[in-house]
Amino acid sequence: MAKQKQSSDKNQASYDFDSIIIGTGPGGEGAAMKLSKQEQTVAVIERYKKVGGGCTHWGTIPSKALRQSVSQLIQYNSNPLFANNEKPKHLTFPDILGHASSVIDKQVRLRSGFYNRNRVTNFHGQAEFVDAHHVKITLDDGSIEVISAKNIIIATGSRPYHPDDVDFTHPRVYDSDSILSLKHDPRQIIIYGAGVIGSEYASIFRGLDVKVDLINTRDRLLSFLDDEMSDSLSYHLWNNGVVIRHGEQIEKVETTDHCVVVHLQSGKKMKADCLLFANGRTGNTAELNLAAAGLTADGRGQIKVNGAYQTDVENIYAVGDVIGYPSLASAAYDQGRIAASAIIDNNAAGKLIADIPTGIYTIPEISSVGKTELELTEAKIPYEVGRAQFKHLARAQIANSLVGSLKILFHRETKEILGIHCFGENAAEIIHIGQAIMQQKNGGNTIDYFIETTFNYPTMAEAFRVAALNGLNRLF
């Protein structure tokens, strides 16, 4: 049993810690750092041997590291400087996993240092509620420890959804976590689910010259995006040889020692070396024994919270993927800090910004912030559009990154920036220039900023000036 300490609130019982955080992904880390810097005693429970959660080990970091390696390979093979080589350079999926592993190791060391410097107590094992204040931990060596706290934050993240009729133990069937253990060099892959993860891995595998069938259960790719961005990605994937099948559902998956055959409800069937099932995620709550704490999760394993990320049980909070939308690492970190602020001060009024930027790391990237054209049209807001094509920018020509564009949506009368959408290399970086202006108050958020300021030349940021001029020229 952890050493008992007297709670700072004399009216409360004695607890081992002020706060316990279950999970060390972005949400858990954000909460732990905020609470520890406010002199709270904090314990974190991580079910795996190393901190960082799914974001560091299976999701955001490894997939983006893979994407970077493949993007560099594509640039090398398409660069005129190397056109005289005998043949294009070929790398396999296992070849590029080495880079991802080194990045993961660096991130783990960095994040471990955060917990150590801030005197956060780490437990490694499976957490399970005993009641609303006590958590049982089954440690790595099989022993059990029970710790208590005044407040508990659930930041357990999510995992890939596994339908019962798909055999994920088969060596040719993968989800977005297990794909990182792919050892062979497939010639053809079927990706079921054309959401963010499916689209990103379609780009990665196609960049490695693997034939890709991307099965989309909806009628368009990434339908939450602005239509032009969605169409640009669809065209780019198609132009690079990805076969996209819209509006399809799996009927069954047939596996053999040598291949996978996917049967669709429409009657189609496809054969490939392996299947990546990337259709949906489930909150990691099944093993928490939520009922003991007076909580329940919905059918997707997610927990309901209020604006302060407080659950139906007053002293228990939840942040990150385990609460659902927006399911972004960046948002989860902020949610953890907001929940921590609410614990420290019940009157804290922190909340996520209204316009959370979206970054999708396909090849090329997509990033957006604010409203889409469809949303503005449906709301009957009079807007205008300014566009810049990357192929016209000197920096893009120098870098041979000619694919892509930037689009600014702004109010016709006030010139207020309403949305920014970018498709192309480094889109997720470029978007933040526009986001910074959108956050300005007292009339500072107008498209005129991009006309009146001076940009470095040549830069990709110059796209904002080009797009602003293009849009203002449409006004009359």
Banded pLDDT at 86 (limits 50, 70, 90): low
Instruction: Give me the pLDDT at residue 346, please.
Output: 82
H/E stretch holding 154 reads: strand 144-154
Q: How confident is the model at residue 85 (pLDDT cuts 50, 70, 90)?
A: low
Which residues, listed in sequence order, are joined to residue 28 by a DSSP beta bridge? Answer: none
- Which CATH code, of 3.40.50.2020, 3.50.50.60, 3.40.50.720, 3.40.50.970, is assigned to 173-279? 3.50.50.60
335: phi then psi, degrees, rounded to nearest 5: -60, -40
Which amino acids are annotated as binding site, given as ranges?
46-55
- Identify whether the C-beta of residue 155 lies closer than 8 Å to the C-beta of residue 25: yes
17-58+96-159+282-344: CATH class: alpha beta
Cβ–Cβ < 8 Å for 54, 92: no
Residue closest to 260 by CA, chosen among 336, 161, 187: 187
pLDDT at 154: 98
Give the pLDDT score at 40. 96
- Residue range 293-312, pLDDT digits in tens: 999 999 999 999 999 999 99
What mean pLDDT do residues 35-45 have? 96
- Whether the per-residue pLDDT at 10 is higher than 50: the answer is no
Q: What percent of the chain has pLDDT over 90?
A: 86
Under 8 Å CB-to-CB from 258, ≥6 apart: which residues? none
pLDDT band per the 50, 70, 90 thresholds, residue 3: very low
**Which long-range contacts link 207-210 to residues 24+ away (Cβ below 8 Å)?**
207/70, 207/71, 207/73, 207/74, 207/363, 208/70, 208/73, 208/90, 208/91, 208/92, 208/93, 208/96, 209/90, 210/93, 210/186
Burial 298-325 (b: 16+ CB within 10 A, else e): eeebbbebeebbbbebebbbbbbbbbbe
Residue 349 has pLDDT above 80, yes or no: no
Q: State yes or no: pLDDT of 6 exceeds 50.
A: no
> 205 pLDDT band (50/70/90 cuts)?
very high
Structure confidence by residue, pLDDT tens digits, 206-251? 999 999 999 999 999 999 999 999 999 999 999 999 999 999 999 9
CB atoms inside a 10 Å sphere around CB 220: 15
Cite the residue boundaries of each domain of the chain with CATH code 3.30.390.30.
364-472
Average pLDDT over residues 35-39: 95
Pairing of strands 269-272, 260-264: antiparallel
Token pair of 153, please?
A: 């934050």
Report how far residue 27's alpha carbon sits from residue 32's, in angstroms, rounded to the nearest whole number: 9
For residue 326, say if its preceding peptide bond is cis, omega within 30 degrees of 0: yes
Average of per-residue pLDDT across 44-51:
95
Domain with CATH 3.50.50.60 in the chain: 17-58+96-159+282-344, 173-279
Tell me the mean pLDDT in the region 160-176. 96
Q: Which pLDDT value is given to residue 469?
A: 98
CA distances from 56 to 13, 104, 157 (A): 36, 6, 12
Average pLDDT, rounded, for the chain: 93
At 9, the pLDDT band (50, 70, 90 cuts) reads: very low
Query: What is the predicted pLDDT for the residue at 94?
Result: 86
Q: Please state the residue numbers annotated as binding site for FAD.
A: 46-55
263 has a pLDDT exceeding 90: yes
pLDDT at residue 402 greater than cutoff 50: yes
Q: Is the pLDDT of residue 285 over 70?
A: yes
Q: Is the pLDDT of residue 348 over 60?
A: yes
Average pLDDT over residues 109-128: 96
DSSP 8-state assignment for residue 5: B
Topology of domain 364-472 in CATH is Enolase-like; domain 1 (3.30.390)
